[in-house]
């Protein structure tokens, strides 16, 4: 069980690292543009220096965080707690989704009717104020 939890924690680190690399790459690209720095292509057309820098920073941050025991312990506890959760079945999820969709449709209709009523009342009073019939 501990090996499986460790595997999930490693997967979490990898996924967070990829998202962080994407975000840092775009932030660095924006910073380069803001500072009027040239972002040159590396190896292929769509690979820029900022992407490599973002990936490198992300990898460094993930390695540093992976070495911090409290972060790994926290993520292990999260994985353990999520394995204890009683997840709904597919049928329960579909039933709940239909209930939510129905509630949204009913709410939209109610708001639409209220909006039309308010529009009619507003137009009536606007005609009265303007001296119309």
* Same-domain pairing of 48 and 7: yes
Q: Is the pLDDT of residue 117 over 90?
A: yes
- Domain range spanning residue 123? 91-133
State the pLDDT confidence band at 82, using cuts at 50, 70 and 90.
confident
In this prediction, residue 133 carries a pLDDT of 58
Torsion sign (Cα): 31, 35, 40, 46: positive
pTM score: 0.59
* Same-domain pairing of 77 and 21: yes
* Same-domain pairing of 47 and 104: no
**Cβ–Cβ under 8 Å, residues 76 and 9:** yes
Of 62, 84, 106, which one is at a domain's C-terminal end? 84
* Same-domain pairing of 66 and 118: no
* Same-domain pairing of 57 and 17: yes
> What's the total number of domains in the chain?
2
CA dist., res. 84 & res. 11, Å (int): 19
């Amino acid at each position: 069980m501990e090996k499986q939890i460790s595997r999930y924690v490693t997967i979490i680190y990898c996924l967070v690292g990829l998202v962080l690399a994407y975000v840092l790459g775009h932030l660095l690209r924006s910073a380069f543009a803001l500072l009027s720095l040239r972002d040159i292509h590396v190896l292929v057309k769509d690979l820029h220096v900022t992407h490599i820098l973002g990936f490198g920073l992300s990898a460094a941050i993930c390695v540093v965080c992976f070495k911090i025991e409290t972060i790994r312990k926290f993520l292990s506890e999260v994985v353990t707690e999520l394995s204890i959760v009683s997840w709904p079945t597919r049928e329960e999820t579909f039933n709940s989704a239909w209930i939510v969709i129905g509630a949204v449709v009913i709410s939209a209709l109610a708001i639409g009717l209220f909006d039309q009523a308010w529009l009619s009342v507003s137009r009536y009073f606007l005609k009265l104020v303007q001296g119309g019939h």
